């Protein structure tokens, strides 16, 4: 029974079954080999869902980063775009659960959803207790690339955000706080375009605070130029809610608008798939926030009955 309820929920949120969706546009993030890429992690692999578990497609050994662009129907396009960073501990990418399904949900809001297949796992010799640099390089380039395509895709270059889950949440926070300096040498005209997101959505972000305290880590320098943010966490998450709280407080101190939701329960990795947990309401709250910020147009009132 729970499988049926889950499937109905996924169909609702992703728009599946509501008419054939167009296949995404797929673009290489880099014009050639990505900066510093050696290909030492082996061939890219896609792991299908595990038997007896809720379906999650996992991708790893990514050496060729790509953008998967899901565009809304032309008559509903709001001009907003969001780069999506799936989670997976910087080891794998939860591709459908925290990527493609999110893009389809955004399409339902009239938003272009751009799923970033960034480089994972950590390369040999990289410390396991520190985020690797390659995903940030990919994210910075991705934001500039999307902005450079604004006129082609019907996007407002001043309404491009980033949304990340778990490790992808850390990546979104890094892209939102370290945009003033590229993490790689500029390659071409795309890198002359700003890589600053206009807004940020962090869903159960990881690695934002230290293991020994609840202070925001030093490599996420929040300032008054940091984009506004919407944050979501569950209080019983093994990745502590203090990650979101610390980022929210830093934004508040810097005078940057932010909204934080810490739900009583939900654990880690709930994505946007419906469940009995209150955390399942976060997509509605996020859409409300986007409208309140003027990023999305205001919702139209329901027609009054006679």
3-class SS of residue 34: coil
Q: What is the pLDDT of residue 242?
A: 98
Q: What is the pLDDT of residue 130?
A: 82
Contact 263, 233 (CB under 8 A): yes
Q: What is the pLDDT of residue 21?
A: 57
User: Quick one: average pLDDT of 59-85?
Assistant: 98
User: Quick one: average pLDDT of 93-108?
Assistant: 97
Mean pLDDT for the chain overall:
91
DSSP H helices, 71-230, are: 101-108, 134-148, 150-153, 167-177
Of 72-81, 105-114, 211-220, 250-259, the poorest mean pLDDT is in 211-220
Q: What is the pLDDT of residue 2?
A: 38
Read off the pTM: 0.91
Q: Hey, which residues does 203 pair with through a beta bridge?
A: 165, 232
Q: What is the pLDDT of residue 129?
A: 77
Element (H, E) at 48: none
Which CATH number, 3.90.1150.10, 3.40.50.300, 3.30.1740.10, 3.40.50.1820, labels domain 2-15+22-292?
A: 3.40.50.1820
Query: Where are the chain's structural domains?
Result: 2-15+22-292
255: CB partners within 8 A, 6+ apart = 224
Q: What is the pLDDT of residue 305?
A: 61
Q: What is the pLDDT of residue 173?
A: 98
Contact 232, 245 (CB under 8 A): no
Q: What is the pLDDT of residue 3?
A: 40
**Residue 268 pLDDT grade (very low, low, confident, very high; cuts 50, 70, 90):** very high
Q: Higher-confidence residue: 52 or 239?
A: 239
């Amino acid at each position: 029974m729970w499988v049926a309820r889950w499937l109905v929920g996924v169909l609702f949120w992703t728009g599946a079954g509501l008419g054939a969706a167009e296949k995404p546009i797929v673009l290489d993030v880099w014009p050639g080999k990505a900066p510093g890429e050696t290909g030492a992690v082996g061939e890219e692999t896609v792991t299908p869902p595990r038997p007896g578990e809720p379906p999650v497609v996992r991708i790893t050994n990514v050496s060729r980063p790509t953008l998967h662009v899901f565009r809304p129907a032309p008559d509903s396009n709001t001009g907003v775009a969001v780069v999506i960073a799936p989670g997976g501990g910087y080891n794998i990418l939860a591709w459908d659960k925290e990527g493609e399904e999110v893009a389809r949900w955004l399409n339902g809001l009239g938003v272009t959803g751009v799923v970033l297949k960034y480089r994972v796992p950590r390369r040999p010799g990289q410390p396991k207790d520190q985020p690797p640099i390659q995903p940030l390089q990919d994210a910075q380039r991705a934001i500039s690339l999307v902005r450079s395509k604004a006129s082609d895709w019907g996007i407002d270059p001043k309404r491009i955000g980033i949304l990340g889950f778990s490790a992808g949440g850390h990546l979104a926070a890094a892209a939102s706080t370290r945009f003033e300096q590229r993490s790689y040498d500029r390659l071409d005209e795309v890198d002359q375009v700003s890589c600053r997101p206009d807004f940020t959505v962090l869903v159960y972000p990881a690695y934002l605070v230290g293991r020994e305290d609840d202070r925001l880590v030093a490599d996420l320098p929040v300032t008054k130029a940091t984009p506004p943010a919407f944050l979501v966490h569950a209080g019983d998450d093994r990745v502590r809610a203090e990650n979101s709280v610390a980022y929210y407080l830093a934004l508040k101190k810097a005078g940057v608008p932010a909204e934080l939701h810490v739900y009583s329960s939900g654990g880690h990795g709930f994505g946007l798939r419906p469940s009995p947990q209150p955390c399942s309401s976060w997509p509605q709250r996020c859409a409300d926030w986007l409208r309140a910020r003027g990023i999305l147009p205001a919702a139209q009132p329901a027609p009054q009955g006679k």
